Amino acid sequence: MAESAVSSPRTAQSPAGRLYFHPVPGVGRSDHLAGSTERAEAKSAMNRTTSNPSATGAGTGDWRLQVPESARGRIRTWLWSIAGMTFLVLIVGGITRLTQSGLSIVDWDPVMGVIPPLNEAQWQEAFDRYRQFPEYQQLRRGMTMGEFQFIFFWEWFHRVVARAIGVVFLVPFLFFWLRGHLTRAITVRALVLFGLGVAQGIMGWLMVASGLVDRPTVSHYRLAAHLSLAFVIFGYAVWLARELKTGETRVAVPVGARPIMRRGLAAVGVLFGLQVVWGAFVAGLKAGAYHNTFPLMEGRLVPPTLLFMEPTLVNFVQNPIAVQWVHRVLGTILGLAVLAFFFQVLRAGADVVSRRLNVALLGLMALQYVLGVLTLIYFVPVSLGVIHQAMAMVIFGVWVWWVHHVQKVAVEVRPTIQATTRAQVPA
Ligand code: HEM
The closest-lying atom of ligand 1 relative to the alpha carbon of residue 395 is 5
End-of-domain residue from the set 230, 246, 262 = 246
State the average pLDDT for the chain. Answer: 85
Largest Cα–Cα distance in the chain? 85
User: In degrees, to the nearest 5, what angle opens at C-alpha 226 toward C-alphas 161 and 137?
Assistant: 85
For ligand 1, is residue 327 a contact (CB within 6 Å)?
yes
Mean pLDDT of 346-358: 95
The secondary structure of residue 306, as a DSSP letter, is T
Give the domain range for residue 369: 1-57+251-427
- DSSP E strand boundaries for 142-255: 251-254
Q: Does residue 172 have a cis bond before it (omega within 30 degrees)? A: no
User: Does 250 contact ligand 1 (Cβ within 6 A)?
Assistant: no
92 alpha carbon to ligand 1 midpoint, in Å?
17
Mark whether 367 and 401 lie in a shared domain. Answer: yes
pLDDT of residue 324: 98
Decide: 403 in ligand 1 pocket, CB within 6 A.
no
Same domain, 45 and 140: no
DSSP assigned state of 111 = T
Q: Taken in order 287, 290, 291, 297, is the CA torsion positive or negative?
A: negative
My answer on whether 6 and 109 are in the same domain is: no
Comparing 14 with 302, which gets the higher pLDDT? 302
Ligand 1 neighbourhood includes 394 CB (under 6 angstroms): no
Contact predicate 330/275, CB 8 Å: yes
C-alpha neighbours within 13 Å on the C-beta side of residue 154:
20
Domain shared by 130 and 91, yes or no? yes
> Of all atoms in ligand 1, which is nearest to the CA of residue 373?
29
Closest residue (by CA) to atom 5 of ligand 1? 392
For residue 60, the model assigns a pLDDT of 55
Instruction: State whether the beta carbon of 368 lies less than 6 angstroms from ligand 1.
Output: yes
> Is 303 near ligand 1, meaning CB less than 6 Å away?
no
Assess whether 234 and 261 both reside in one domain: no
Q: Which residue's CA is minimally distant from atom 28 of ligand 1?
A: 372
85-112: average pLDDT: 93
Residue 210 covered by a domain: yes
Same domain, 276 and 219: no
- Over the stretch 252-291, which tens digit does the pLDDT of each residue have? 888 899 999 999 999 999 999 999 999 999 999 999 999 9
pLDDT of 99 reads 96
My answer on whether 219 and 72 are in the same domain is yes
233 within a domain of the structure (yes/no) = yes
- Are 201 and 162 spatial neighbours (Cβ–Cβ below 8 Å)? yes
If asked whether residues 262 and 287 sit together in one domain, one would say yes
Residue ending a domain, among 246, 276, 299, is 246
What is d(CA 29, CA 381) in angstroms, rounded to the nearest whole number? 57
Distance 372 CA to ligand 1 centre (A): 5
SS3 per residue for 25-93: CCCCCCHHHCCHHHHHHHHHHHHHHHCCHHHHCCCCCCHHHHCCHHHHHHHHHHHHHHHHHHHHHHHHH
pLDDT, tens digit (0-9, with 9 covering 90-100), for 20-76: 443 433 333 333 223 344 334 433 443 344 334 343 344 457 888 888 888 999 999
Which of the four pLDDT bands, split at 50, 70 and 90, describes residue 416?
low
Is the same domain home to 108 and 5? Answer: no
DSSP SS3 for 171: helix
- Would you say the CB of residue 350 lies under 6 angstroms from ligand 1? no
For residue 9, pLDDT over 80 is answered with no
Residue 389 CB–ligand 1 contact under 6 Å? yes
| Residue 297, SS3 per DSSP | strand
Mutate to test the pocket of ligand 1, among 375, 377, 386, 391 (most ligand atoms within 8 A of CB): 375
d(CA 291, CA 297): 6
Query: How far apart are the CA of 407 and the centre of ligand 1, in A?
Result: 29
CB atoms < 10 A from the CB of 175, how many? 13
Q: Is residue 62 part of a domain?
A: no
The string of pLDDT tens digits covering residues 134-145 is 999 999 999 999
Residues with Cβ < 8 Å from 26, sequence gap 6 or more?
Answer: 10
Distance (Å, rounded) from C-alpha 130 to C-alpha 146?
Answer: 14
Answer yes or no: is 334 within a domain. Answer: yes
Q: For a ligand 1 pocket test, name from 327, 332, 339, 378 the mutation site with the most ligand atoms within 8 angstroms of its C-beta.
A: 327
Is 123 a member of any domain?
yes
The total number of structural domains in the chain stands at: 2
**Statement to judge: residues 177 and 100 lie in one domain:** yes
Last residue in a domain, options 201, 228, 246: 246
Residues 195, 258: one domain?
no
Looking at the structure, tell me whether residues 242 and 255 fall in a common domain. no
